[in-house]
């Protein structure tokens, strides 16, 4: 079997990690890169030793050497670029969040169903070894029944917003609950193994100067199995490098908090894990699914359900009302 040809569209923050991860896989070959800015397309291509760079996305889609499109464009272009790739006969690995609207989710599901091609939403934090261990503890029954789960996304993005990038562009800025909160919320859905049925959120927006949207959200939710959840998201934090918060699970028999295992009696014990790259693991899993035809662990419907809950959170913060989440895709 010949190697899978990989094409990249966009040059967003994680693109170098994806280029590195695909380069490390023995069954793929990096073919070309596309970005609306010529210098960005050249840089991505050079980073991956690719012979092709272009500002015309159709050139990638028409290239017979490309079997897979890695979507690393701005969040609001994910659906457009993914659907076009699928319609052109390419498999798709799409950077998180899968998209930003409920209608986009429905359109992406339809495109995957109609083409039958492999699509995966790259919520790569699920592949982080420490979260894999926490998930295993819960699935093995060692925590009992989860009654509350929480996570966070805490960053100081003032430096990023100050630069002239799409994230702070007034015409289509990044919503931080969707763009950042997708990390912890996806972990919560996955850990509990239940869908979110309703949400309520508050937000404010005065920590990050000159950013046009709110930069802090408190998002609470109720799962179909009765578990409650909370996600805190901020990009206005004063303290660089705090990053994604710990996945905490409060169960009827034990608790996982700050990567430690707490029982009813005795001292807490640290949860240990291997030191593996979650992005590499996500890419390896995706490539294996393309080659074998197996269903990805984070398929288009799974990605849509995370986005749907976050979109409901944005609506709740704007209206002040509790919002029912749409999970029918």
Q: What is the mean pLDDT of residues 297-304?
A: 98
In terms of domains, do 240 and 319 share one?
A: yes
Q: What is the mean pLDDT of residues 22-33?
A: 98
- Report pLDDT for 20: 98
Asked which of 40-49, 73-82, 242-251 is least confident by mean pLDDT, the reply is 242-251
pLDDT digit string (tens) for 153-204? 999 887 777 676 788 888 888 999 999 999 999 999 999 999 999 999 999 9
Residue 1 to residues 6, 8, 27, 28, 293, Cα–Cα distance (Å):
15, 22, 9, 11, 14
Q: Is 226 exposed, middle or buried (0-12, 13-18, 19+ CB in 10 A)?
A: exposed
Q: Most distant CA pair in the chain: distance in Å?
A: 62
Higher pLDDT, 295 or 238: 295
CATH number assigned to the domain comprising residue 290: 3.40.50.720
In terms of domains, do 145 and 61 share one?
A: no
In a domain, 303, yes or no: no
Kindly report the number of other CB atoms within 10 A of residue 117's CB atom.
Answer: 18
Q: What is the mean pLDDT of residues 136-142?
A: 97
In terms of domains, do 221 and 283 share one?
A: no
What domain range includes position 318? 126-276+308-324
Q: Is the pLDDT of residue 1 over 70?
A: no
pLDDT digit string (tens) for 197-254? 999 999 999 988 778 899 999 999 999 999 999 999 999 888 776 777 789 999 999 9
CA 276 from centroid of its chain's CA atoms:
18
In terms of domains, do 149 and 241 share one?
A: yes
In a domain, 142, yes or no: yes
User: What is the average pLDDT score of the chain?
Assistant: 95
Q: What is the CA radius of gyration of the chain?
A: 20
In terms of domains, do 174 and 316 share one?
A: yes
In a domain, 329, yes or no: no
- Integer Cα distance of 214 and 173 in angstroms: 11
In terms of domains, do 15 and 26 share one?
A: yes
In terms of domains, do 59 and 26 share one?
A: yes
> Residue 250: in which H helix or E strand, if any?
strand 248-251
Q: Is the pLDDT of residue 269 over 90?
A: yes
Q: What are phi and psi of 30, to 5 degrees?
A: -80, 125
In terms of domains, do 188 and 104 share one?
A: no
Sign for the CA dihedral angle at 130, 131, 133, 138 comes to positive
Q: What is the mean pLDDT of residues 133-158?
A: 95
Residue 193 to residues 84, 187, 200, 227, 262, Cα–Cα distance (Å):
31, 10, 20, 10, 21
Q: What is the DSSP code (8-state) at residue 24? A: T
In terms of domains, do 11 and 88 share one?
A: yes
CATH number assigned to the domain comprising residue 184: 3.30.360.10
pLDDT digit string (tens) for 95-120? 999 999 999 999 999 999 999 999 99
Give the angle subtended at the CA of 328 by the CAs of 153 and 146, to the nearest 5°.
50
| Number of separate domains in the chain | 2
In terms of domains, do 220 and 149 share one?
A: yes
- Integer Cα distance of 274 and 133 in angstroms: 9
In a domain, 228, yes or no: yes
In terms of domains, do 118 and 257 share one?
A: no
User: Could you tell me how many residues make up the chain?
Assistant: 329
- Report pLDDT for 208: 84
In terms of domains, do 63 and 191 share one?
A: no
DSSP result, 85-129: HHHTT-EEEEESSS-SSHHHHHHHHHHHHHH---EEEE-GGGG-H
In a domain, 262, yes or no: yes
- Integer Cα distance of 235 and 240 in angstroms: 10
- Report pLDDT for 242: 77
């Amino acid at each position: 079997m010949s190697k899978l040809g990989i094409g990249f569209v966009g040059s967003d923050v994680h693109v170098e990690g994806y280029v590195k991860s695909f380069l490390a896989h023995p069954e793929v070959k990096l073919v070309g890169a596309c970005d609306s800015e010529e210098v960005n397309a050249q840089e991505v291509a050079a980073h991956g030793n690719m012979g092709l760079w272009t500002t015309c996305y159709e050139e990638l889609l028409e290239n017979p050497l490309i079997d897979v499109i890695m979507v690393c464009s701005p969040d609001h272009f994910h659906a457009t670029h993914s659907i076009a790739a699928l319609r052109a006969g390419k498999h798709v690995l799409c950077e998180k969040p899968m998209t930003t609207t409920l209608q986009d989710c429905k359109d992406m599901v339809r495109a995957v169903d109609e083409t039958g091609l492999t699509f995966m939403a790259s919520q790569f934090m699920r592949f982080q070894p420490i979260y894999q261990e926490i998930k295993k503890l819960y699935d093995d029954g060692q925590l009992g029944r989860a009654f509350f789960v929480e996570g966070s996304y805490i960053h100081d993005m003032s430096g990023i917003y100050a630069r002239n990038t799409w994230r702070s562009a007034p015409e289509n800025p990044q919503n931080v609950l969707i763009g950042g909160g997708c990390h912890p919320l996806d972990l919560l859905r996955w850990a509990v193994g239940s869908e979110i049925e309703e949400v309520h959120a508050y937000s404010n927006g005065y920590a990050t100067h000159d950013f046009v949207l709110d930069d802090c959200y408190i998002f609470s939710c109720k799962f179909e199995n009765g578990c409650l959840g909370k996600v805190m998201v901020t990009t206005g934090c004063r303290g660089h490098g705090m990053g994604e918060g710990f996945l905490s699970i409060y169960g009827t028999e034990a608790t996982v908090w700050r990567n430690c295992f707490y029982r009813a009696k005795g001292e807490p014990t640290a949860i240990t894990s291997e030191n593996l790259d979650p992005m590499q693991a996500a890419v390896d899993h995706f490539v294996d699914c393309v080659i074998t035809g197996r269903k990805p662990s984070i398929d288009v419907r799974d990605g849509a359900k995370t986005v749907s809950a976050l979109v409901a959170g944005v609506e709740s913060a704007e209206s002040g009302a509790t919002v029912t989440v749409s999970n029918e895709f």
